[in-house]
C-alpha cells in the first residue's frame, strides 16, 4: 500500500509499527450544529481506508474524537439558553445518525474531550516540567513554540516567516492584556474560564483546555505514544496538526505519527464549503433528497486528496451511476433465482476469470494511495461484464459469482448494493395480476390502463423475458 505522507511530501510504502496492525487517529468534528457534507468527506474517506485495510487483513484500531468543549459550542448554548453539554450531546447523537446513514463504521473508540481533562492536565504539566510550556500570570498556559526544533516540519512553514505574519495578532493580544506571552508564536494549552463558561480545576487556574492538546492526549491514551497514521482534512495541517506534533513529541520524546493523511476540500463553486462562509449543505439536507449512499458514492468518485466540487448535476450523475450498479446486482439476483442450473458455460467461465482479474485491479488501484475513483471504474467494468454475459440462458452459478464479487468490492467502499426485497400492497399485487390476465386475453387497452394506474401510484412495470418486473419511481 502506498500512502501520500504529508510529513515527507511523497508517496511512501506503508509499513506498520506492528505487523498486521494499524493504529489510526482521525480528528473528528466540533459538535455545535449538524455536520455539513464537507465534514463528511474525511469521515467517508478514512472509513473507506479502514475498511480496505481490514479487508487486506489488518486489525485497525481506529480512534476519532468529538470536540465537545469549544467557543462555538458555548456560543450556541448561550443563544439557546441551555448548558453547553446539552448542545454537544445533542449534536453527537445527530452526528452518529448521519454517520449511520453514510454507512460509516463506529470508531473503535470515540473519545470526547470533556472526558479526558485529567490526561490533558498531566500532559501540560509534563510540558511545563520539560521547559516546553509556561503559565502566564493570569493562569493561561502557553506552548513555547520556538523551543520545539521540528516546528513547521509538517506544514513546511518556516518559523521566521510565521513570526512576521503574526505582528497584527501580537498587537491585538497586547491590547487584550496578555502581554506576558513570551513570543507571539506561542499557542494556548490551557485558558482561564470566562463568566458562564464550563471550567475545570487545574494547577494554573480554573479554566479549560486549548483545542490542540485534546488530540495529543486522546491519541496517546487510546493508541500509544507513536501511532501509524494521523488523519484529517487539509485545513488541519496548520496549525492544528503542527501543534499536535509539537506537543506530543516534546512530551513523549518519540515521533508522534509515522504517516499523515489529509483529504482535499469539498468545494462549492470552487470555494471551500464551510459553516463560516455559509455556503454549506448539511448531511441532513442531502438526506432529504437522496439516499445517503449516493453522497458516499459521490465522495468516493474522486481520489481523496483532490478537491471535489459539489453540484446538483454531479449528485444526479452519482445517483445514476449507483443505480446502474444496483440494477446489475438486482438482475444478477433474479438470474440466481430463475437462471439455468448446472455448471457455467465456457463463455461464462472466461468472464468469471476476467472478473477475478478485475479484483486484482481493484486492489492495485486502492493500493495506490486509495484511488477510489479508479476502484469505482473497476466496479463499472464488472457491471458491463455482467450486463453483456449474464443474458438469456445464463447460469445461476455465474450470476452468483459476479453478484458476490460486485457486492464484495462495493462493500469495501462501504456501499450497500443489495437491493432490498420489497413487498407490495395487496391491491397493487392484484392490479399487476389483473394486467397479466388482460394481456393474456389480448385486452391491451385494459392492460395499458392498469399500467398507467400503477404509474400514478409510483410503480413502474417492465415486461421482461423472465416475466413482469416492477420498480418504484
The residues binding ligand AMP (CB under 6 A) are 27, 29-30, 38-39, 41-42, 232-233, 235-236, 263, 265-266, 272-274
Residue 29 contact among ligand AMP, Zn ion, none, beta carbon within 5 to 8 Å by kind: ligand AMP
15 three-class SS: coil
Closest approach of Cβ 230 to Zn ion, in Å?
8
CA 242 to chain centre: 22
Chosen residue from 215, 273, 370, 454 binding Zn ion by CB under 5 A: 215
Q: Which residue has the cell 501520500?
A: 4
Q: Strand, helix or coil at 451?
A: helix
- Which of 27, 34, 99, 406 binds Zn ion (CB under 5 A)? It is 27
Instruction: Please state whether beta strands 207-209 and 10-13 pair in parallel, antiparallel, or not at all (unpaired).
Output: unpaired
Q: Minimum CB separation from ligand AMP for residue 158, in Å?
A: 23
Q: How near is the Cβ of 314 to ligand AMP at its closest, in Å?
A: 15
Nearer to Zn ion, 256 or 297 (CB): 256
224 in Cβ contact with 230 (< 8 Å): no
Q: Is 73 in the site for Zn ion (CB under 5 A)?
A: no
* In the complex, minimum distance from the CB of residue 28 to Zn ion, in angstroms, rounded to a whole number: 8
- Run of H or E including 369: none
DSSP structure string for 17-78: SSTTEEEEEE---B-SSPPBHHHHHHHHHHHHHHHHHHHTT-EEEEEE-BB--SHHHHHHHH
* Residue appearing with cell numbers 455545535: 32
Which among Zn ion, ligand AMP, none contacts residue 25 (Cβ within 5 to 8 A by kind)?
none
Pick 25 or 52: Cβ nearer ligand AMP: 25
Shortest reach from residue 219's CB to ligand AMP, in Å: 14
Q: Residue 70 is placed in which grid cell? A: 469549544
C-alpha cell at 363: 486492489
Identity of the residue, 25 or 265, whose beta carbon is nearer to ligand AMP in the bound complex: 265
Interior CA angle at 294 toward 321 and 459, to 5°?
75
In this complex, which beta carbon is closest to Zn ion, that of residue 45 or of residue 383? 45
* 23-31, 169-177, 374-382, 395-403 -> range binding Zn ion (CB under 5 A): 23-31
Shortest distance (Å) from residue 112 CB to ligand AMP: 14
Q: Please say which residue, 237 or 335, places its beta carbon nearer to ligand AMP.
A: 237
H or E segment and range at residue 403:
helix 396-412
| Angstrom distance (rounded) from CA 473 to CA 460 | 7
Nearest 10 degrees: CA dihedral of 222, 224, 226, 232?
10
Min CB(384)–Zn ion separation in Å: 42
Which residue's CB is nearer to ligand AMP, number 26 or number 135? 26
- Range in contact with Zn ion (rule: CB under 5 A) among 112-120, 207-215, 409-417, 452-460: 207-215
Of 183-191, 213-221, 265-273, 459-467: span binding Zn ion (CB under 5 A): 213-221
Closest distance to ligand AMP from the beta carbon of 165 (Å): 21
Which CB, 249 or 336, lies closer to Zn ion?
249
Q: How many CA atoms lie within 13 A of 472 on its CB side?
A: 7
Measured in degrees and rounded to the nearest 5, phi and psi for residue 393 equal: 80, 0
For residues 158 to 197, the per-residue mask of contacts with Zn ion, x marking binding by CB under 5 A and - elsewhere, is: ----------------------------------------
Residue closer to ligand AMP by CB (options 273, 292) is 273
**Axis crossing angle, helix 372-389 with helix 346-367, rounded to the nearest 10:** 170
Count of C-beta atoms within a 10 Å radius of residue 168: 9
Q: What are the residues binding Zn ion (CB under 5 A)? A: 27, 215
Amino acid at each position: 500500500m502506498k500512502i501520500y505522507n504529508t510529513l515527507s511530501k511523497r508517496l511512501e510504502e506503508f509499513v506498520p509499527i506492528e505487523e498486521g496492525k494499524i493504529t489510526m487517529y482521525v480528528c473528528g468534528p466540533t459538535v455545535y450544529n449538524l455536520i455539513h457534507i464537507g465534514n463528511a468527506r474525511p469521515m467517508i474517506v478514512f472509513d473507506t481506508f479502514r475498511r480496505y485495510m481490514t479487508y487486506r487483513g489488518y486489525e485497525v484500531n481506529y480512534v476519532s474524537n468529538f470536540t465537545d468543549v469549544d467557543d462555538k459550542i458555548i456560543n450556541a448554548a448561550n443563544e439557546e439558553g441551555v448548558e453547553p453539554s446539552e448542545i454537544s450531546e445533542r449534536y453527537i447523537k445527530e452526528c452518529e445518525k448521519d454517520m449511520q446513514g453514510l454507512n460509516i463504521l463506529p470508531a473503535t473508540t470515540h473519545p470526547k474531550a470533556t472526558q479526558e481533562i485529567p490526561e490533558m492536565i498531566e500532559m501540560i504539566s509534563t510540558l511545563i516540567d520539560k521547559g516546553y510550556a509556561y503559565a502566564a500570570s493570569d493562569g493561561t498556559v502557553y506552548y513555547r513554540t520556538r523551543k520545539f526544533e521540528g516546528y513547521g516540519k509538517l506544514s513546511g512553514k518556516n518559523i521566521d516567516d510565521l513570526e512576521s505574519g503574526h505582528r497584527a495578532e501580537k498587537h491585538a493580544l497586547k491590547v487584550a492584556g496578555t502581554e506576558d506571552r513570551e513570543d507571539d508564536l506561542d499557542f494556548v494549552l490551557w485558558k482561564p474560564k470566562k463568566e458562564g463558561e464550563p471550567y475545570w480545576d487545574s494547577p494554573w487556574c480554573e479554566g479549560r483546555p486549548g483545542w490542540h492538546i485534546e488530540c495529543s492526549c486522546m491519541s496517546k491514551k487510546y493508541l500509544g505514544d507513536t501511532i501509524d497514521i494521523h488523519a484529517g482534512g487539509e485545513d488541519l495541517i496548520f496549525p492544528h496538526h503542527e501543534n499536535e506534533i509539537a506537543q506530543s513529541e516534546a512530551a513523549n520524546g518519540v515521533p508522534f505519527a509515522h504517516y499523515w493523511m489529509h483529504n482535499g476540500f469539498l468545494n462549492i463553486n470552487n470555494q471551500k464549503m464551510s459553516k463560516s462562509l455559509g455556503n454549506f449543505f448539511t448531511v441532513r439536507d442531502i438526506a432529504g433528497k437522496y439516499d445517503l449512499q449516493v453522497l458516499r458514492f459521490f465522495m468516493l468518485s474522486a481520489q481523496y486528496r483532490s478537491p471535489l466540487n459539489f453540484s446538483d448535476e454531479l449528485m444526479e450523475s452519482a445517483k445514476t451511476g449507483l443505480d446502474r450498479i444496483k440494477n446489475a446486482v438486482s438482475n444478477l439476483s433474479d438470474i440466481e433465482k430463475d437462471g439455468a442450473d448446472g455448471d457455467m458455460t465456457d463463455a461464462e467461465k472466461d468472464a468469471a476469470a476476467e472478473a477475478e482479474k478485475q479484483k486484482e485491479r481493484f486492489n492495485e488501484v486502492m493500493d495506490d494511495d486509495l484511488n477510489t475513483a479508479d476502484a469505482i471504474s473497476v466496479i463499472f467494468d464488472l457491471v458491463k461484464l455482467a450486463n453483456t454475459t449474464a443474458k438469456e440462458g445464463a447460469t445461476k452459478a455465474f450470476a452468483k459469482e459476479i453478484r458476490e464479487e460486485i457486492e464484495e468490492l462495493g462493500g469495501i467502499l462501504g456501499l450497500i448494493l443489495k437491493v432490498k426485497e420489497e413487498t407490495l400492497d395487496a391491491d397493487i399485487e392484484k392490479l399487476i395480476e389483473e394486467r397479466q390476465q388482460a394481456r393474456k386475453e389480448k385486452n391491451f387497452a385494459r392492460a395499458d390502463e392498469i399500467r398507467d394506474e400503477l404509474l400514478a401510484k409510483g410503480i413502474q412495470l417492465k415486461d421482461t423475458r423472465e416475466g413482469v418486473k416492477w420498480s418504484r419511481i
